[in-house]
Amino acid sequence: MRSKLAILSLVVLAGITAACSSKPDSATNAAGGAGGNKPAQEAKATDTYPNAQLLADVKWVQDHAKDANLKIIDARSKGYEQGHIPGAVAVNAGLLKDSKNNTIIGKDAFTELFQKAGINSDSTVVVYDEGGAGNSATRIFYGLEYYGLKDKVKVLNGGVLAWTTAGKELSTDVPAPAKGNFSAQPNDKLITTKAQLLSANLAQCTLVDTRSAKEYTGEDLRGNKNGGHVNGAINTEWSDAIDQAPADGVPKFKSYKDLTALYTKAGITDKDKTVIPYCQTNIRGAHTYFTLRLLGFKDVRPYEGSMAEWANADDAPLVK
């Protein structure tokens, strides 16, 4: 048994090492559920995201609200009882973290959580949060993709603020969805562990530190034992992807053109290269995971343990 476990560990470690040593095969994205989305293609215009189907607007949600396989998740930590998008089920994004082990909750706990929310294996899921500086929706987006619903999840651009600003009504009715048949199946190609990061050829990966500049330099320890960043990591704060001063007052994701300029300036340009975003607990990192997916990056593997694990481990080097 021990020998089998050792072999399995080596295989998992080899996966991230290989990914950071060569370009992966190009993969074709699956169709995106309700609305008949086509496989993602590279954008031909500067105002179209390569994976635009991952981002829903208010009209899309309204048009597909009665689709049999559409499920809407309210990812906010508060405010659901006071009013939510009609039909939405509350799932607190904070429930996805196993804080004792600095990782996402296991597949059994994840399965139970989302079966209670009525999620099925063939569901198309729209997730939203408060909008603006919110990153709960993208955390759930990442969790659902990691556990098997890749290309079946969408984020509502602008969150509940976009909904109310468009004049749409909120509901206080609490749905009682039938138990779903979703079964979580982890995808090892969508996650990075501490052991993998220690063994990887980091020069062949793109590491993205999505924290604030002061956290990146080690000036702000955020309660960690050590400060700084993983060697070679590029600091691009997660919130830079959001247009915080739009004309309609609803912060949304920046245009494809502006996001491309943002990441190009930072040196994050190779969409075939393995990209590893991280933050403190992979909440901000998950937001950047979504942004990079939206832009068409093909191999994004967030470091789930992030600095809560790395910056408190004696064997994990940091630079300032």
Going residue by residue through the chain (320 aa), what tens digit of pLDDT does each one get? 444 434 434 444 455 554 675 343 333 333 333 344 443 444 344 579 999 999 999 999 999 999 999 999 999 999 999 999 999 999 999 999 998 999 999 999 999 999 999 999 999 999 999 998 899 999 999 999 999 999 999 999 999 999 999 999 999 999 999 999 999 999 999 999 999 999 988 888 999 999 999 999 999 999 999 999 999 999 999 999 999 999 999 999 999 999 999 999 999 999 999 999 999 999 999 999 999 999 999 999 999 999 999 999 999 999 99
End of a domain among 130, 165, 200?
165
Residue 137 lies in a domain: yes
CATH number, residue 56: 3.40.250.10
Q: What integer pLDDT is reported at residue 47 of this predicted model?
A: 77
pLDDT of residue 17: 54
Residues 210 and 160 in one domain: no
* Domain contains 47: no
* Residue 25, pLDDT score: 35
Do 195 and 297 lie in a common domain?
yes
Q: Which domain holds residue 213?
A: 188-310
- Please, what sign has the CA dihedral across residues 90, 40, 16, 122? positive
The amino acid sitting at 268 is I
- Say what the pLDDT of residue 20 is: 77
Strand ranges, E, within 48-204 = 55-56, 70-74, 89-90, 97-98, 103-104, 124-128, 153-156
Q: In whole angstroms, how far apart are CA 219 and each of 178, 214, 227?
A: 49, 5, 7
pLDDT at 34: 39
Q: How many CA atoms lie less than 13 Å away from 201 in the CB half-sphere?
A: 11
Please report the pLDDT score of residue 167 as a whole number.
98
Q: In the numeric block, which tokens belong to residue 73?
A: 């998740």
Domain assignment present for 135 = yes
Kindly give the residue spans of alpha helices, DSSP state H, lying in the chain. 2-19, 58-64, 107-116, 136-144, 159-165, 194-199, 213-217, 256-266, 284-294, 306-310
Give φ, ψ of 64 to 5 degrees: -110, 10
How many folded domains does the chain comprise? 2
Q: 144, 153 in Cβ contact below 8 A?
A: yes
Query: The tokens 């559409």 sit on which residue?
Result: 70
192 plus 161 within the same structural domain: no
Within this chain, do residues 124 and 216 fall inside the same structural domain, yes or no? no
The pair phi, psi for residue 164, each rounded to 5°, is: -70, -35
Strands (E), 143-292: 153-156, 206-209, 234-235, 242-243, 252-253, 275-278
319 assigned to some structural domain: no
| Closest-CA residue to 42 (of 32, 33, 52) | 52
pLDDT at 32: 36
Strands across the sheet containing 275-278: 234-235, 206-209, 275-278
* 198 and 305 within one domain: yes
Same domain, 147 and 226: no
3-state secondary structure (DSSP) of residue 197: helix
Within this chain, do residues 278 and 194 fall inside the same structural domain, yes or no?
yes
Strand bridging mode 234-235 / 206-209: parallel
The domain boundary residue, chosen from 165, 180, 213: 165
Joined tokens for residue 72: 């809407």
Q: Is residue 28 part of a domain?
A: no
Q: What is the pLDDT of residue 202?
A: 83
CB 191, CB 302: distance < 8 Å: yes
Indicate if 300 and 215 belong to the same structural domain.
Answer: yes
Distance CA 252, CA 243 (A): 6
CB 203 within 8 A of CB 142: no
What distances in angstroms separate CA 17 from CA 22, 80, 198, 200, 298, one per listed residue? Answer: 9, 42, 10, 5, 16
Q: Say yes or no: 153 and 233 in one domain.
A: no
End-of-domain residue from the set 130, 150, 165:
165
Q: Is residue 38 part of a domain?
A: no
Shared domain check, 124 and 91: yes
In a domain, 133, yes or no: yes
If asked whether residues 131 and 194 sit together in one domain, one would say no
In this structure, is residue 102 part of a structural domain? yes
pTM for this entry: 0.89
Q: Are residues 147 and 57 part of one domain?
A: yes
